[in-house]
Structure 1
Amino acid sequence: MKTQNMKKNNFAYFILSILLMAFSCKSKIENKQDSKWIKLFNGENLDGWKAVGGAAEFEVKDGVIIGYAKANTPNTFLITEQDYTDFILELELKIEDLSSNSGVMARGQYDPAARDGKGLVFGYQIEADPSPRAWSGGLYDEARRGWLYPLDLNPAAKSAFKMGEWNHYRIEAIGNTIKTWINGQEVAYVVDDMDSKGHIGLQVHSINNPEDEGNKTYFRNVRIQTENLEPKPFIGEVFVVSTGLNELTDFEKSKGWRLLFNGVNTDGWKAAYKEEFPSEGWTVQDGILTIKASDGSESMSYGDIVTTEKFSAFDLAFDFKFTEGANSGVKYFVTLSEGNTGSAIGLEYQILDDERHPDAKMGREGNRTLASLYDLIKANKNPRFVKGPGEWNKGRVVVYPDNRVEHYLNGVKVVEYVRGSDDYRALVAESKYKIWDKFGEAPEGHILLQDHGDEVQFKNIKIKTLQ
C-alpha cells in the first residue's frame, strides 16, 4: 500500500513539475515579447507628446488620454516629439459619439509654417470612423491625396470597430507596406513609398456643431516596437492597394493574383480582330501602356486591344489616366463574334472626362459617365473620389461566379448588378445593345482596352480568377 502511495505521489510530482516548466517557459516567452515593446504613453502625463493643428484639448485621467472635441477649429493632433521609421504600433481607442471621427497618424508629417504659421499635419492616417459608412481601419492620406484604402475594398472589416467600446488597433509600417488590424480583424493593406518616416499622432477631428463640443475620444495602452520586427501575416482575402509600378506582393501572388500587363512589353495582348498586336498607336514606355491620340473616333485609327486569354469569374484591377476631353473604356466578356464595325462589343467600364466630353450628357440619366456600366447603369460617384485629367485613377471590376458584378473607382463601389437578371435584361432592352441576343451574358470573354481616338494610359493591370 505504501509503495502504491509513493508511486502516486511521484506521478503527481512529475505532472506538477511539467506544468511548472511549461508555465515558466510561457512566462519567459511572454516576457521576451513584452520586452520588445516601448510605451509611448506613460499613463500619467503627456511627456513626449505635443498638441498641434487645432485647439482641441487633451488630458490624462486614470491612465487614459482623453481628447475633447472643440467647435470651429481645424483637426487637432496629439503627436509624438520623436519620429519613427519602421514599426509595429498597438493601442486602444474608444469613441462615444457619432460626431467624434478620429484616427491614428502613422509616419505623420507636420509643417509648423503651413496655414500662415498655424501648422498642418498631413500623411498616413488610420481611420476611426463611427459613422454608418464604417471605414475604421482604412487608410486616409490626411491633407494630401485623400483616401488610399476605403473599406468598400474590404467590407468584411466594416463590423470590426465597436462604438462605445475599447477597440484594439494594430498598425504595421515596415518598408513601403502598411497593414492594419482592428480587434484582430485584418483591415487594410497598402503599398506606398511617399513617407518612410514620421510621427505617431492621435486625432480629435474638427466639428462644426457647437452642441457636439466636449464629446470625448479616448486612447490608452499606446506602445510601439521598432527593432527586430516580426510582421504578422495576413491570411484572409484582403485586396491590396499599391501605388507602385506593375508589381505584385508575395501576399497577392499567394492569393492567385497575376499581372495582365508586365510593364515591359505587350505579351498577352493582341489586336481585337487580328492575331498580332497593332503595329502603331499603342506603346509601352517606362512601365506605362499608352494609346496615343488620333481623331477621336471609335476604334478607327489604331484599334482596340484584347487579352489573348478569356475570363469568366474574376477580379480585375487597373490604373488609368486620361487627357482632357478623353473617351475610352475597359470592356469585359468580349467575344469578338458580333461582326460589327468599330469597337468590339462587350460590357464596358466607361473611362471619360465627364466635364469635357459630350458623351457624359448622352445616354440615359448619366449612364455614359466615368466608371459607369456604359449605356446601362450610371456610376454612383462622390466627386471627392474622382481624379481628373492628368491624374491616375484606380479602376476595378469584380465578376463573381454567381454573375454579380461590381465596378469600383478609387476604392469605392459605384456600380453593382447581376448579369442575366430580369433587371439587367430590362436595361439592355432600352439600350444600344438591344440588337444583340443575350448581350453581356457569354460564359467567358476577353478583356479589352479601347482605342477611342484619345490618349489614355494604363498600368498595374492585374487579375485574379474567382472560383
Structure 2
Amino acid sequence: MKNYIAIYILSFLIFSCKSHETKRSDTINLFNGKDLSGWHVDVPKMDEDPGAKSPFIIRDGLLVSLGEPQGHLITDSVYQNYKLDVDYRFPGEPGNCGVLVHASTPRALYGMFPKSIEVQMMHENAGDFWCIVENVEVPNMEERRGPKENWGITEGKERRIKNLTDDSENALGEWNNMVIESRADTIKVWVNGDLVNEGFNSTAKKGHIALQAEGAEVEFSKVELTHL
C-alpha cells in the first residue's frame, strides 16, 4: 500500500512540474532588458535625416521611448490570441504614447501610424481605443465615440473610443500595469487591475505589436506576452 502511495505522489509531482513548465513556456519576454532584439524601428524622420537618432533606447535595463522623433518600435513577429502584460511610467512630463495591436501596413495613417488598433497610454486616458485603418466596436458606441455619422478609421474621422473608467492610473511618475487580452476578434484592456475597455468585432485578429514614440518620454520595465 505504501508503495502505491509513493508512486502516486511521485507521479503527481512529475505531472505538476511538467504542467508548470508548459505554462511557463507559453510566456515570452518581448523585451530582454539588454537590447532591441526581436524589434525594428519605423521612424519617418530617420529616412529623411540619416543623422537622426532613434527615439527607442535601452537605459538602466529599461526600454525607453524618448518621444521624439516620432514613430514606432514594432515586433518582428506576428501574434494572435495572447495576453500582453506591460509595466510603464512617464518619468517626467506627462504626455502621449500607446500600444498598437494587430499592426500591419506601415505608415497607413498620416504617413506615420501603421494599420492597427491602438490601446492608448496617454496620461489620464489610458485604455482608450483608437482605430487606425482598422475598426473595433464597443457597447454604447455613440456615447463613447460620438455621433455615428462621424465614425471612421482614417484621417478626419472619429477614431477614438473612450475608456470605461476614471482614475485607474497611478500618480504621475509611478509605475502602471496594462494588460491587453486579444482573443479572436475581441480585445480587453485592464489598467492596474481595472477593466477599462472591452471591444469586439475587431476587423483584425492578428498582427505585429508596436510601441509608440509620440512626444513624451515613457519607460517600460516589462513587455511580456502569454499565448492563449
With normalisation by structure 1, the TM-score equals: 0.36
Closer/same/farther in 2, CA of residues 224 and 92 from structure 1, 3 Å limit? same
| Counterparts of 1:113 and 1:176, CA distance in 2 | 21
Larger Rg: 1
The answer to whether the 8 Å contact 1:94/1:166 transfers is: yes
Name segments (4+ residues, structure 1) moved above 6 Å. Answer: 24-29
Which residue number in structure 2 is paired with residue 218 of structure 1? 219
Superposition deviation, residue 219 in structure 1:
1.2
Closer/same/farther in 2, CA of residues 67 and 150 from structure 1, 3 Å limit? same
Secondary structure of the residue aligned to 2:204 is coil
The answer to whether the 8 Å contact 2:121/2:127 transfers is: yes
Closer/same/farther in 2, CA of residues 84 and 142 from structure 1, 3 Å limit? same
Determine if the alignment matches structure 1 residue 138 to structure 2 residue 128: yes
Superposition map of 1:366-445 within 5 A? none
Determine if the alignment matches structure 1 residue 41 to structure 2 residue 36: no
**Structure 1: where are the runs of 5+ without partners?**
1-23, 207-214, 230-467
Secondary structure of the residue aligned to 1:198 is strand
Percent identity, aligned pairs only, is: 24
Superposition map of 1:221-370 within 5 A? 221-226=222-227, 229=228
Which residue number in structure 2 is paired with residue 180 of structure 1? 189
Q: Deviations over 1:8-49 (max 9, x none)?
A: xxxxxxxxxxxxxxxx99988765543320111111100111
One-letter code aligned to 2:74: I
| Counterparts of 1:25 and 1:164, CA distance in 2 | 43
| Counterparts of 1:129 and 1:111, CA distance in 2 | 21
The answer to whether the 8 Å contact 1:110/1:119 transfers is: no
Secondary structure of the residue aligned to 1:34 is helix
| Counterparts of 2:219 and 2:44, CA distance in 1 | 17
Superposition map of 1:26-175 within 5 A? 32-55=22-45, 57-70=55-68, 73=69, 75-111=70-106, 120-130=113-123, 134-142=124-132, 144=153, 146-151=158-163, 154-155=164-165, 158-162=166-170, 163-175=172-184
Determine if the alignment matches structure 1 residue 193 to structure 2 residue 202: yes
Closer/same/farther in 2, CA of residues 140 and 120 from structure 1, 3 Å limit? closer
Which residue number in structure 2 is paired with residue 353 of structure 1? none
| Counterparts of 1:178 and 1:194, CA distance in 2 | 11
Which residue number in structure 2 is paired with residue 205 of structure 1? 214
One-letter code aligned to 1:205: E
Q: Higher RCO, 1 or 2 (CA under 8 Å, sep at least 6)?
A: 2
With normalisation by structure 2, the TM-score equals: 0.70
One-letter code aligned to 2:61: G
Closer/same/farther in 2, CA of residues 142 and 161 from structure 1, 3 Å limit? farther
The answer to whether the 8 Å contact 1:54/1:77 transfers is: no
One-letter code aligned to 2:161: Y
Secondary structure of the residue aligned to 1:93 is strand
| Counterparts of 2:205 and 2:84, CA distance in 1 | 15
| Counterparts of 2:104 and 2:182, CA distance in 1 | 15
One-letter code aligned to 1:223: E
Superposition map of 1:439-454 within 5 A? none
**Structure 2: where are the runs of 5+ without partners?**
1-13, 46-53, 134-152
The answer to whether the 8 Å contact 1:149/1:190 transfers is: no
| Counterparts of 2:161 and 2:60, CA distance in 1 | 34
Number of matched residues? 185
One-letter code aligned to 1:179: K
Closer/same/farther in 2, CA of residues 142 and 99 from structure 1, 3 Å limit? farther
RMSD after superposition: 2.8
